[in-house]
Structure 1
Amino acid sequence: MEVIFQSFVSGLPLLLIHFGVTLIMLALGIFTYVLVTPYNEITLVKKGNPSAALSFSGALIGIAIPLSVAMAGSVNTMDIVVFGAVAIILQLLGYRITDLLLKGLPSRIENNEISAAITMVGIKISISLVNAAALSV
């Protein structure tokens, strides 16, 4: 039992550091997402727009999935930062390309069309799954 406890105590600081760094990366990714989104989702969410809330939730999940893979596959904290940054860039690039290809989708989310938001969430999560798989190779 003492060996298990010592293992826990010795590994806990690294776990907390990796967890904290990944949460910081998630916050930076979401902050950047808010800057590059063609409409202000947070304002729309505050006004009670369910479509914007769905889309923003999809972005949160979409950025968190590849970041979790980056953390799981990391050897050290720098791995999380480097591969996390790559994951965020790829994710945001995918979101931006989607906005450009499906020009009407962002404005439909602004207008609270749930079907557009559900489509956007599906796209965001799909991109994140491919992104996460690429990171795990």
Structure 2
Amino acid sequence: MDSILETLSIGLPVLVLQAGVTLALLAIGVGCYMALTPFHEMRLVRQGNVAGGIVLTGSIVALAIPLAATLATSLLTLDILLWGVVAVVLQLLAFGVTAALFRPLRRMIEEGNAAAASVVAGIQIAVALINAGAMAG
């Protein structure tokens, strides 16, 4: 029983720190994403715009997937921080490329085009899965 408590007392602070760093990276990534998009996701969601909700949810999940892989495969908090920044940058680039493919993306999302939003979210999640696989090595 003492070894279990000792392991917990050593491991729990590391778990909290690494999870906290990862959640902070997710929050920063979502903030950067929302600053880069040509539409205001939170306003659209508050207005009941389904397309805005789909795109925002897809982006959050797409940012979380490679961050989770980094958290799962890294032993050091610094590794999580460095690879997490790389993951966020790659996901933001993926959104930029996706947005370029859908030229009138702002109009489509603001008009509630759920089909376009679903494709954008799908592309982001697919890239996130590949990104996570590459990071997990």
The two structures have a TM-score, normalised by structure 1, of: 0.95
Query: 1:64 and 2:60 equivalent?
Result: no
CA distance in 2, matches of 1:89, 1:53: 22
Which aligned runs of 4 or more in structure 1 are off by greater than 4 angstroms?
Answer: none
Offset of 1:5 from its aligned partner? 2.2
- Listed as ranges, the gaps of 5+ residues in structure 1 are none
Rounded to whole Å, the distance in 2 between the matches of 1:69 and 1:80 is: 9
Q: Structure 1 CA distance, aligned partners of 2:123 and 2:107?
A: 16
| Residues 9-40 of structure 1 deviation map (CA, whole Å, 9 limit, x = unaligned) | 21000000001000000000000001111111
**How is 1:35-114 mapped onto 2 (pairs within 5 angstroms)?**
35-114=35-114
Show structure 2 runs of 5+ residues with no match. Answer: none
Identity of aligned residues (%): 38
Give the residue type in structure 1 aligned to 2:123.
I
C-alpha RMSD of the superposition: 1.1
2:126 is matched with 126
Per-residue Cα deviation, 1:76-125 (whole angstroms, up to 9, x for no partner): 11111100000000000000011012213442121101111111111111
3-state DSSP class of the match of 1:21? helix
Which SS does the other structure have where 1:112 is aligned?
coil
| 2:128 partner amino acid | S
